[in-house]
Structure 1
Amino acid sequence: MLSLLGLARKSLSRVAIAITALTVAACEPVSTTGAGGPAIDTNAAVPVALLVPSGSGQASDELLARSLQNAARLAIADLGNVKVDLRVYNTSGQPAQAAAMASKAVDEGAKIILGPVYAQEANAAGAAVASRGVNVLSFSNNGDIAGGNVFVLGPTFQNTADRLSRYAVRQGTTRIMIVNDRDITGEIGRTAIQQAVGRAGGTVVASESYALSQNDIMSAAPGIAAQAKSSSAQAVFFTAASDKALPLVTQLLRDNGVAAETTRYIGLTRWDIPSAAATLPSLQGGWFALPDPGLYSQYQARYQTAYGEAPPPISALAYDGIAAIGALVKQGQSDALTGRRLTQGSGFVGVNGIFRLLGDGTNERGLAVAQIRNNQVAVIDPAPRSFGGAGF
């Protein structure tokens, strides 16, 4: 339905991207995951299983599978003396197949599993190998499946909400209204924002939602706008994606008197994807978070040069996973791939910037805060380069 708004989904020389463990001192997260993991031979190539969604019959899954393999191999090429034996297994995007492939990978010697993509797959894969002490670094961003031997590498709503809420409060924007899609994703996003605003020292002054149809959004907009004004909200924090409900709901709120001069718009999702979103009049002046653009642009250029096509953003998670594995193996410890080592507080550096795996299986990423200005994306608060940085 929102395709009527005309938003369609939409790349040198080699630039070295360092893969290394951060050495800045940091507090270790409290661990609720198992601290275990298989011992590795530090003098041999480490067997790593990569689970990809190839075989589902969906063109989008084949693209994902190819890009994840490409990114992982690009990362392995940067490891220097650290050797990784990458073994690829196809899951067809199905939980049962993911579980079977995870078990097969461990049978064949894998010491850690990278992937799969989808939350139910990752949950099944983790369960299949939990009793064998092998950890799973999934590409999911669903924190509900994290814990035990399963970690999520994808950017979580909570991490994004925390970053933006801290920034907003530092700028004096403390009275925040939440507007969310009335679906599971929207509800998860709303909860993340509520928690983040409270932790940052702000106040959620109102919360409204809408059903996901054009007519329902149009019907709900006047009431949402009235609530934004009556609550004296300084900002409205949206859960909607820029290729879905966001263009319509933000424009309707502007049309109903929620003025850009008095009410900031903040986004839980990426407003630079698709690129056409930056041209929307209703988003001008709005804030959102994104990975370190400098590091990511280097990755994009290298990937384009190596493979002749632009990488999907999710592919960078495969690079980051290999980055973490390589950094730990480089330390020369036989317990490099245990939960205790994976959750080292100093974290890692990947092509999305700094990140660390937390004891509950989720992650913390160093994000930049950006603003839509004159139809372009401008970074207004850079991504931190260590976990002692301003973003944390």
Structure 2
Amino acid sequence: MMDKATRNMTKVNSMTARIFLTHLRLSVLAITTIAFLSACATTTPQGPAYPRTQDQPYSNGSTDIDRPQDRPDEPDTPEDTDTDLAQNGLTPAFMDGKSIKRIALILPFSARSKRLREEAASMLKSAEMALFDANDDDLLLIALDSAGTPQGAALSAHQARDQGADIILGPILATSVTAASEAVQESGIPVIAFSTDSAVSGGNVFLLSFPPEAEVKRITQFAASSGAQSFAFLGPNSNYGRRVLSAYKDEITNLGARLNGVESYRGKTIDSMQDPAEKLSKLYVDALDENDPKHVAFQAVLLPEGGTALRSLAPLLTYFDDSLRNVQFMGTGLWHKDEVVKEPALNGGIFAGPDLDARKNFNASYDAKYAQEPSR
């Protein structure tokens, strides 16, 4: 194992995250997938075209809403407009005559969740930033609103297809990814989604995300390559926790190592964590052999928590017995927070995730352009 006395928080880059792509993950993959070298023209995010009755207001995707009877007279739309769009794709006037490559970006701009709306806005800004920096006048980014629902994602995917998209980036949520991919499956348009649920990949769907299975595999392999052959788990009994534990068991088996201790808890309070942590500590202490320092129940323990819950959980093992300071603490991408790096109980811990320095550089560029930090 590495010398824990001479290092602070050590982070292992995930195989799926060697380059920092958190907010445009998307642009880099889109460019390489379609062989674009790019700057872009960007369309205004368009809301899904929900069917409406005469009594429902029209919405143009902005805050202005007007009813049909209040709309001024408009010239008739030429009958061949839809045909031209289908044949030639969306073509802004200033790009007329260019060999346009169209990238549709489907994100939940009008989702009910404030967090999702903020994430969508931040990802759009990041996409624009990355594509403008690449400097290609033939690339068009078409931003479409999924509204955070499968129905909205399907409608946006149809819009992307009708506007001639060569590739679709997004959506984020697994159910929306499935709906969007099914909507364009016959068209053969590749969908590069941001979901971490590997179950939605396959066919025309590819995932550009950091799934916990990949993080668990990378961190377990790293610990094993550093000498660990016996492992333990202390984490939440939640969908995420069970998913991580399943991947952890599989990788330990693949490595020919041993999983000697598993403890789970429900909730995020210290009270819910204390009993499982004490049991795992006792397992470690009971296995100690003064005549054989190498005889331990486990050499590394995975703590798949984040935020305040992790800062509550991390000190518990050494609280019950100081000898657990010799155990390698490991984490998932949930550890990727500045406050975690500064947590004394996690000094020497390792986790799989994007490079912190790369994120700082990205944040600096983003802040210089938009005077704010990107969302995570």
- Tell me if TM exceeds 0.5: yes
Question: How big is the shift at 1:64?
Answer: 1.2
Secondary structure, in 3 states, of the residue corresponding to 2:165?
Answer: coil
Residues 1:304 and 2:367 aligned together = yes
Q: CA separation in 2, counterparts of 1:130 and 1:80?
A: 31
The 10-residue stretch of structure 1 (85-94 or 286-295) with the greater mean CA deviation from structure 2: 286-295
Q: If the length of structure 2 is used for normalisation, what is the TM-score?
A: 0.68
Judged with a 3 Å threshold, the aligned counterparts in structure 2 of structure 1 residues 179 and 293 are, in CA distance, closer, same or farther, namely: same
Provide the residue aligned with 2:310 in structure 1: 246
Question: How big is the shift at 1:197?
Answer: 2.6
Secondary structure, in 3 states, of the residue corresponding to 2:217?
Answer: helix
Q: CA separation in 1, counterparts of 2:196 and 2:322?
A: 32
Q: Which has the higher contact order (CA 8 A, sep 6+)?
A: 1
- Give the counterpart of 2:113 among 47, 55, 58: 58
Number of aligned residues: 278
Give the gaps of 5 or more residues in structure 1.
1-17, 23-39, 314-392
Secondary structure, in 3 states, of the residue corresponding to 2:231?
Answer: strand
Question: How big is the shift at 1:260?
Answer: 4.3
Provide the residue aligned with 2:166 in structure 1: 111
Provide the residue aligned with 2:104 in structure 1: 49
Q: CA separation in 1, counterparts of 2:312 and 2:357?
A: 31
Question: How big is the shift at 1:237?
Answer: 0.9
CA contact (8 A) 1:169 1:201 kept: no
CA contact (8 A) 1:91 1:97 kept: yes
Provide the residue aligned with 2:210 in structure 1: 155
Judged with a 3 Å threshold, the aligned counterparts in structure 2 of structure 1 residues 173 and 61 are, in CA distance, closer, same or farther, namely: same
The 10-residue stretch of structure 1 (72-81 or 47-56) with the greater mean CA deviation from structure 2: 72-81
One-letter amino acid matched to 1:97:
G
Q: CA separation in 1, counterparts of 2:328 and 2:218?
A: 16
- Give the counterpart of 1:85 among 137, 140, 164: 140
Q: CA separation in 1, counterparts of 2:272 and 2:116?
A: 32
- Give the counterpart of 1:141 among 186, 193, 196: 196
Secondary structure, in 3 states, of the residue corresponding to 1:291?
Answer: coil
Q: C-alpha offsets along residues 287-307 of structure 1, whole Å, 9 cap, x if unaligned?
A: 112213343332222111111
- Give the counterpart of 2:221 among 159, 163, 166: 166
Kindly indicate which of the two structures has a greater share of residues assigned to helix: 2
Question: How big is the shift at 1:84?
Answer: 1.7
Q: CA separation in 2, counterparts of 1:164 and 1:256?
A: 25
CA contact (8 A) 1:48 1:87 kept: yes
CA contact (8 A) 1:228 1:258 kept: no
CA contact (8 A) 2:332 2:353 kept: no
Q: CA separation in 1, counterparts of 2:268 and 2:135?
A: 52
Question: How big is the shift at 1:206?
Answer: 2.1
The 10-residue stretch of structure 1 (249-258 or 99-108) with the greater mean CA deviation from structure 2: 249-258
Structure with larger Rg: 2
Residues 1:67 and 2:122 aligned together = yes
CA contact (8 A) 1:177 1:228 kept: no
CA contact (8 A) 1:218 1:252 kept: yes
One-letter amino acid matched to 1:257:
D
One-letter amino acid matched to 2:145:
N
Question: How big is the shift at 1:49?
Answer: 0.8
RMSD: 2.6
Question: How big is the shift at 1:270?
Answer: 3.6
Residues 1:280 and 2:343 aligned together = yes
Secondary structure, in 3 states, of the residue corresponding to 1:261?
Answer: helix
CA contact (8 A) 1:46 1:111 kept: yes
Residues 1:291 and 2:354 aligned together = yes
Secondary structure, in 3 states, of the residue corresponding to 1:312?
Answer: coil
The 10-residue stretch of structure 1 (260-269 or 213-222) with the greater mean CA deviation from structure 2: 213-222
Question: How big is the shift at 1:201?
Answer: 4.3
Q: CA separation in 1, counterparts of 2:314 and 2:116?
A: 31
Q: If the length of structure 1 is used for normalisation, what is the TM-score?
A: 0.65
Q: CA separation in 2, counterparts of 1:55 and 1:239?
A: 31
Q: CA separation in 1, counterparts of 2:343 and 2:224?
A: 25
Provide the identity percentage.
25
Secondary structure, in 3 states, of the residue corresponding to 1:78?
Answer: helix
Q: CA separation in 2, counterparts of 1:293 and 1:80?
A: 26
Question: How big is the shift at 1:244?
Answer: 4.7
Question: How big is the shift at 1:148?
Answer: 1.6
